[in-house]
Amino acid sequence: MTLYQSIAVLGSLGVVSGIVLAVSFSRLKVEDDPLVEEILQALPDINCGACGYASCHAYAELVAEGKAPADMCAPGGPETEEKIIRIKGGDLSSEKKIPKNAVVHCKPQKRIFSAGYCGIETCSAANISGAGLLCRFGCLGFGDCLAACPFDAIKINSSGAAEVIPEKCTACGLCVRSCPRDIILMVDYNDGRASYVGCSNTQEGKNTRKVCGSGCIACGLCVKRAPEGTFVLEDSLARVEHSGGEINVEEIKCPTGCIYESVEKTKN
Amino acid sequence: MAAELITIFVSAVLVNNFVLYYFLGICPFLGVSSKLDSSVGIGMATTFVMTMTALVTWPVYYYFISPETGLNLPFLEYIAFIIVIASLVQFVEMFLRKFFPHLYRALGIYLPLITTNCAILGMALFMVLRQYNYIQSVVFGFGAGCGFTLVIIIMAGIREQLKFSPVPGVFKGAPITLITAGLLALAFMGFAGIITP
């Protein structure tokens, strides 16, 4: 008797919950576009947010609906764009893009401090007081960018400032947004090399000299010595207008030595 | 009547909290408590499943399993409860996927894991053990869910603060989380003895 009763009880419990689930499934079914899944496969699926959407999935949905362009994925680069266009069955445009990498525009030989700091160890918190760093524009070195980077492409160098490792950088732009001092910028890499000014200090030359031994003092030598149009002087700070093979860092002989060349080693 | 229900509710939320007093449901408690909004989501989902479990399992127990009022099949207690819980979780999963897709993706693997959340089965078994009537059971289930939600939200708040604290290297990650959970349990022990279940 107990045997039949238990079979009946368990059986009917199973059947009833099965029916309830089947009915609710038909009511609550979500139609998945197979295209979304396919595009998601082509994306790096790291949810970095460089495209401006919440996740790779959200971006894939919009691309599948045709509401977003295929070239928004910075980490994936041209290869991903090509894959997405192929999945969607569109034409491949032959336009070649100049690759970019992030560069920290502060590369001091030595950072000079006027006081110690023992507060919360993030750049955004330390930026409120300046953390005792004399230069108001310099890298604080607590590594907010390091924490934001999903690719381990940032290291803190021997002087305590952050530095991007160009061969690991995918130009997703997360570090650019994470830096409270806005000293990380995207730079064009022609043939895997880029010249940049390792300073963001817009104070006058003599004031820059007081806070850092290797800051840009806006002497203008680089504008004179380098090919025309490659350097510009703005707000007492030199800036590389367009980079490439034509700039020879050795030839410029920057008096404070704050012009650097970043070379991307071949990815392997 | 009302006083009794309030006692059961307060007891389930604070005094005999499922996570910090009985140490049930530790997996989602440690797994989903790193972000405040997803912890709110899992808390809500668990509360819903717990309340519904109480709503459904009580009649199942009373009419089929109970030795006194049912068919005297006590050995079916666990398997029948698990069937009910598993189908409820499936339902919640479908519901969230349809109406809250972002929450669905944020919860990820932890959503189907509610099925194996021992706090829910524990709640159903306590409900039987303490011989609650129907309304008492539902209030108990809802209170247990609220207690779980409360604790996981407190934990998520603490863990968000912890990210900015200078934690010694060896304690980073899981160790400091477990220590925090232990201290939280100690704090909740302060409620012990106010109401006896």
Q: For B133-149, write each residue's pLDDT tens digit.
A: 999 999 999 999 999 99
Q: Indicate the SS3 state at residue A256.
A: coil
Q: In CATH, what number is assigned to the domain containing residue A40?
A: 1.10.15.40
Lowest mean pLDDT among A42-51, A153-162, A196-205, B152-161: A42-51
Residue A113 within any structural domain of the chain: yes
**Is the CB of residue B92 less than 8 Å from the CB of residue B45?**
yes
Query: Is A88 buried (19+), middle (13-18) or exposed (0-12) by CB count in 10 A?
Result: middle
- Residue A220 pLDDT > 70: yes
Cα A193 to Cα A191: distance, rounded to the nearest angstrom: 6
pLDDT at A43: 84
Do A51 and A170 sit in the same domain of this protein?
Answer: no
- Single-letter amino acid, residue A139: C
Q: For A154-178, write each residue's pLDDT tens digit.
A: 999 988 899 999 888 888 888 898 9
Does the distance separating the beta carbons of A55 and B105 come in below 8 Å?
yes
Residue to test with chain A: of B65, B93, B94, most A Cβ within 10 A:
B94
Cα B20 to Cα B29: distance, rounded to the nearest angstrom: 10
Q: Which of B64, B76, B105 sits opposite A57 (nearest CB)?
A: B105
Q: Which of A21, A54, A125 sits opposite B91 (nearest CB)?
A: A21
| Alpha carbon separation from A9 to A13, A26, B74, B132 (Å, rounded) | 6, 26, 12, 22
**Is the CB of residue B24 less than 8 Å from the CB of residue B151?**
no
| Structure token pair of residue B196 | 């006896």
Average pLDDT, integer, range A105-128: 89
Strand partners of residue A193: A190, A263
Does the distance separating the beta carbons of B90 and A21 come in below 8 Å?
yes
| Alpha carbon separation from B134 to B51, B82, B89, B122 (Å, rounded) | 12, 19, 21, 17
Do A175 and A259 sit in the same domain of this protein?
Answer: yes
**Is the CB of residue A212 less than 8 Å from the CB of residue A108?**
yes
Average pLDDT over chain B reads 88
pLDDT at A81: 81
DSSP letter for B65, please.
Answer: I
**Is the CB of residue A93 less than 8 Å from the CB of residue A108?**
no
pLDDT at B59: 92
Does the distance separating the beta carbons of A17 and B84 come in below 8 Å?
yes
ipTM exceeding 0.90, yes/no: no
Lowest mean pLDDT among A33-37, A176-180, B66-70: A33-37
- Single-letter amino acid, residue A138: G
Does the distance separating the beta carbons of B87 and A20 come in below 8 Å?
yes
Cα A155 to Cα A119: distance, rounded to the nearest angstrom: 22
Do A207 and A238 sit in the same domain of this protein?
Answer: yes
Lowest mean pLDDT among A251-265, B6-20, B116-130: A251-265
Residue A78 within any structural domain of the chain: yes
Tally Cβ neighbours within 10 Å of residue A244: 16
Tally Cβ neighbours within 10 Å of residue A124: 15
pLDDT at B154: 95
Average pLDDT, integer, range B1-13: 89
Q: Please give, one letter per residue, the 3-state secondary structure of A112-153.
A: CECCCCCCCCCHHHHHHHCCCECCCCCCCCCCHHHHHCCCCC
- Residue A96 pLDDT > 70: no
Do A226 and A184 sit in the same domain of this protein?
Answer: yes
- Given A52, A87, A122, the domain boundary residue is A87
Residue A150 within any structural domain of the chain: yes
Q: Which residues of A touch B87 (CB under 8 A)?
A: 17-18, 20-21
Average pLDDT, integer, range A85-106: 75
Do A258 and A125 sit in the same domain of this protein?
Answer: yes
- Residue A19 pLDDT > 90: yes
Do A145 and A257 sit in the same domain of this protein?
Answer: yes
| Structure token pair of residue B144 | 């247990």
Angle, helices A56-65 vs A77-88, to 10°: value is: 40
Does the distance separating the beta carbons of A6 and B76 come in below 8 Å?
yes
Express the helix, strand and coil content of chain B in percent, nearest 5 each.
Answer: 75, 0, 25
Average pLDDT, integer, range A63-81: 80
What percent of chain B has pLDDT above 70?
Answer: 98
Average pLDDT, integer, range B57-65: 91
Average pLDDT, integer, range B71-98: 88
Chain B, nearest residue to A54 by Cα: B102
Do A194 and A71 sit in the same domain of this protein?
Answer: no
Do A163 and A69 sit in the same domain of this protein?
Answer: no
Does the distance separating the beta carbons of B79 and A57 come in below 8 Å?
no
What percent of chain A has pLDDT above 70?
Answer: 94
Min Cα–Cα distance to chain B from A29, Å: 7
Number of domains in chain A: 2
Cα A72 to Cα A70: distance, rounded to the nearest angstrom: 6
Residue A167 within any structural domain of the chain: yes
pLDDT at A245: 55
Do A163 and A235 sit in the same domain of this protein?
Answer: yes
- Residue A130 pLDDT > 70: yes
Does the distance separating the beta carbons of B75 and A30 come in below 8 Å?
no
**CA gyration radius, chain A:** 27
Domain of A74, in residue numbers: 34-87
Classify A96 in phi/psi space as left (phi over 0), alpha (psi -120 to 50) or beta. Answer: beta
Do A82 and A180 sit in the same domain of this protein?
Answer: no
pLDDT at A268: 41
Tally Cβ neighbours within 10 Å of residue A157: 13
- Residue A18 pLDDT > 90: yes
Residue A25 within any structural domain of the chain: no
Do A48 and A135 sit in the same domain of this protein?
Answer: no
Q: Where residue A219 falls among pLDDT bands split at 50, 70, 90?
A: confident
Q: Where residue B34 falls among pLDDT bands split at 50, 70, 90?
A: confident
**Higher-confidence position of B31 and B81:** B81
pLDDT at B192: 82
Q: In CATH, what number is assigned to the domain containing residue A151?
A: 3.30.70.20
- Given A19, A52, A87, the domain boundary residue is A87
Do A133 and A42 sit in the same domain of this protein?
Answer: no
**Higher-confidence position of A216 and A98:** A216
Residue A148 within any structural domain of the chain: yes
Residue A4 within any structural domain of the chain: no
Would you list which residues of chain A are within 8 Å, Cβ to Cβ, of chain B? Answer: 2, 5-6, 9-10, 13-14, 17-18, 20-21, 24-25, 28-30, 54-55, 57, 120-122, 125
- Given A42, A59, A87, the domain boundary residue is A87
Residue A132 within any structural domain of the chain: yes
